[in-house]
Amino acid sequence: MNRFLPYLKYLRGHRTYLAFALVCGAISGLVFGGGLPLVTNRVFPHLFTEGVRTLPAHQIIGYALLIPLIFFIRALAGFLNNYFMSRCGIGVLEAIRVELYRQLQHLPLSYFGQNRTGDLISRLTADTQVVQQTITSSASDLVTQPLTLLGAVIFLTVTALQHEGVLMFLGSLAIIPACVLPVRYVGKQLLRRAAENQRLLGDLSDLAHQNLMGAREVRAFGLEDKEVEVFQRTTRRLFHVQLKVVKYSQILSPSIEVIASLGIAFSLYYAYYAGLTLAVFMSILTALFACYEPVKKLGALHGQFTRGAASLNRIEEILHAPITIQDPAQPVAVPGRLRGDLAFEGVDFSYLPGEPVLRGVSVAIPAGTVCALVGPSGAGKTTFANLVPRFYEATAGRVTVDGHDVRAFRLADLRRNLAVVSQDPVLFNDTIYQNLLLGRAGATREEVEAAAVDAHADEFIRTLPHGYDTMVGERGSLLSGGQKQRLALARAFLRNAPILILDEATSALDSQSEELIQAALRKLVVGKTVLIIAHRFSTIRDASLILVFDRGQLAATGTHAQLYAANPLYQSLYDRQHGPA
């Protein structure tokens, strides 16, 4: 229970509904726990006293209606309790998911490289649902069930004081602590199975996510049957684990009932020798039933807590993950645009400890420089560029912009002065216009369309059925690769940032449109500091500075002519694509 106390704060915004739900739950519990035994004790003797059948009809009807009245009050109060508690629960679910989603937005990119997307989605949806159910169930049952038990115990105590021999009858309640034994055993078993259940749900979500994202590749390589087989194996493992969860969840209630029946058996034995009347015995029996029912439900609630704890562990792995890239306590003020002077001073970087990706990189890139990054695959080019917008943090040394360490800027100020066009641009499932507007949220329609013209995207946009209001599909699936790339370039035109990072931005374009885009890029880079991550050497002919990377180190710097003449690695890379110069 203590694990969930910090999360009860999510109920604060629903205090009125929560209070009303708890009052209704208390009414339901007290009416059932005390009212029904009281009717059994006080009303039934009037109706069934031997030889007495002289009560008027209206009085008999009144007595008879007391029972449905009690159940009506209990049902109405129980319904209102469940309804308003569910309302609070939905609010709790919303709050937990939003906080979890907010945390995901601020975690460093390295976190997503270490965790599977499908599993993170499962935690955001399935695990939060389990935690929500646990919190709302506990808030309701931890009031209703104890008060039901309290009402029954009060009735039994009062009856014990009024009738000789009833006090020993309360010994039947001594069997209640024995109910703790199955609760503890089942709880331990359930925690392990519930954790495995949630993990397999994450695996299943991740398999489905990978398959749907790679639908074209699955069909191209004929992997349909293999994918189904893998998915089926995972669902089969999940099936067996879920059966175990059901087994341990459902065995608790019958176990408590069996233990409780021993108490009732003792009651029957003692009542016979104590000489209790049938009316007293029946009322006490009803009260005992009202005692054992809350114990059974509280045992089930323990199982819910156990399942919730397994999901909470998975959620807290995200909520408690350190946000290593944050705004500084006293950021450098950026009243306008940065100039774009870049410098790397003894920079080291590792994704994993002991496996350096960059080692001792030092270089100055003056503002307005078009700088190309070349080298073999895995040499550190993309990592080098990603350190500028602080997508990753240098493990040693520092990266500066205009003489200030990038860690001294607010992230929003730093990234507002950067535009990134990646090799595989991401478009959101919205209109073309809204996707372009991501470049600069406050831009006018005319500015958006002008940026599209500069990127040579306007001409194909206007041929679409709804023009700029055409939906692009998930990740831009309704557009060709070249069209998506042009939209990404249009966003960079619209942003007009002083620092531009191009990760092979023309790789998805056909040869016919590449010349047009190269012309657009020549216009885009004017007056900007540009980092071009180049895999094709045809894209770096306008570079004024070229950095050659080799196994995480900066092997050489210079112009094309200088490097081709003096650096064997650069010469071999160039000749491999174009032949000897």
Question: Measured in Å, how far apart are the chain's first and last C-alpha atoms?
Answer: 74
Tell me if residue 315 falls in helix, strand or coil: helix
Query: Which secondary structure element, helix H or strand E, spans residue 178, and what is its range?
Result: none
Provide the pLDDT for residue 199. Answer: 80
Strand bridging mode 370-374 / 545-550: parallel
CA–CA–CA angle 535, 537, 538 (5° rounding): 120
**Confidence class for position 221, pLDDT limits 50, 70, 90:** low
Distances (CA, A) of 435 to 428, 469, 472: 7, 10, 9
Q: With respect to residue 330, please indicate whether it lies within any of the assigned structural domains.
A: no
* Average of per-residue pLDDT values in the chain: 79
Q: With respect to residue 350, please indicate whether it lies within any of the assigned structural domains.
A: yes
**Do residues 169 and 271 make contact, with C-beta atoms less than 8 angstroms apart?**
yes
CA–CA–CA angle 236, 238, 242 (5° rounding): 120
**Confidence class for position 540, pLDDT limits 50, 70, 90:** confident
Q: Three-class SS string for 61-108?
A: HHHHHHHHHHHHHHHHHHHHHHHHHHHHHHHHHHHHHHHHHHHHHHCC
Residue 238 tokens, joined: 């999940």
Provide the pLDDT for residue 548. Answer: 92
Residues 369 and 308 reside in one and the same domain: no
Q: What is the DSSP string of 177-199?
A: GGGHHHHHHHHHHHHHHHHHHHH
- Report the CATH number at residue 426: 3.40.50.300
Task: Report DSSP state, residue 32.
Answer: I
Nearest alpha-carbon partner for 363 in 390, 337, 384: 384
Residues 230 and 351 reside in one and the same domain: no
Residues 315 and 349 reside in one and the same domain: no
Residues 313 and 349 reside in one and the same domain: no
The residue type at 270: Y
Residues 194 and 251 reside in one and the same domain: yes
Residues 391 and 423 reside in one and the same domain: yes
Which of 199-203, 366-370, 446-450 has the lowest average pLDDT? 199-203
User: Could you tell me the maximum CA-CA distance found in the chain, to the nearest angstrom?
Assistant: 123
| Residues 341-384 pLDDT 10s | 999 999 999 988 888 899 999 999 999 999 999 988 888 898 99
From CA 134, how far away is CA 132, in angstroms rounded?
A: 5
Per-residue pLDDT at 55 exceeds 70: no
Question: Which domain-ending residue is among 287, 319, 351?
Answer: 319
Residues 425 and 516 reside in one and the same domain: yes
Share of the chain above pLDDT 90, in %: 18
Per-residue pLDDT at 60 exceeds 60: yes
Q: With respect to residue 333, please indicate whether it lies within any of the assigned structural domains.
A: no
Q: With respect to residue 163, please indicate whether it lies within any of the assigned structural domains.
A: yes
| Residues 276-303 pLDDT 10s | 666 666 666 666 666 666 766 666 666 6
Question: Which domain-ending residue is among 319, 350, 371?
Answer: 319
- pTM (2 decimals)? 0.72
Residues 433 and 306 reside in one and the same domain: no
Residue 396 neighbours by CB distance under 10 Å = 14
φ/ψ region of 403 (left if φ > 0, alpha if ψ in -120 to 50, else beta) reads: left
From CA 108, how far away is CA 104, in angstroms rounded?
A: 9
Question: Which domain-ending residue is among 285, 319, 353?
Answer: 319
Q: With respect to residue 490, please indicate whether it lies within any of the assigned structural domains.
A: yes
Question: Domain limits at 438?
Answer: 342-578
| Residues 148-165 pLDDT 10s | 667 667 766 776 666 665
Q: With respect to residue 337, please indicate whether it lies within any of the assigned structural domains.
A: no
**Do residues 451 and 439 make contact, with C-beta atoms less than 8 angstroms apart?**
yes
From CA 560, how far away is CA 577, in angstroms rounded?
A: 14
Nearest alpha-carbon partner for 468 in 507, 423, 436, 424: 436
Query: Which secondary structure element, helix H or strand E, spans residue 333, and what is its range?
Result: none
Distances (CA, A) of 31 to 17, 190, 499: 21, 33, 71
Residues 356 and 215 reside in one and the same domain: no
Residue 278 tokens, joined: 């049938």
Q: With respect to residue 327, please indicate whether it lies within any of the assigned structural domains.
A: no
Give residue for tokens 């994704």.
Answer: 351
Residue 199 tokens, joined: 């993990």
Residues 288 and 356 reside in one and the same domain: no
From CA 432, how far away is CA 423, in angstroms rounded?
A: 19
Per-residue pLDDT at 581 exceeds 60: no
Phi and psi torsions of 499, nearest 5°: -120, 130
Which of 424-438, 454-468, 504-518 has the lowest average pLDDT? 504-518
Per-residue pLDDT at 511 exceeds 70: no
Per-residue pLDDT at 214 exceeds 70: yes
- Report the CATH number at residue 312: 1.20.1560.10
Residues 205 and 64 reside in one and the same domain: yes
Tell me if residue 420 falls in helix, strand or coil: strand
Q: With respect to residue 2, please indicate whether it lies within any of the assigned structural domains.
A: no
How many structural domains comprise the chain? 2
Residues 48 and 13 reside in one and the same domain: yes
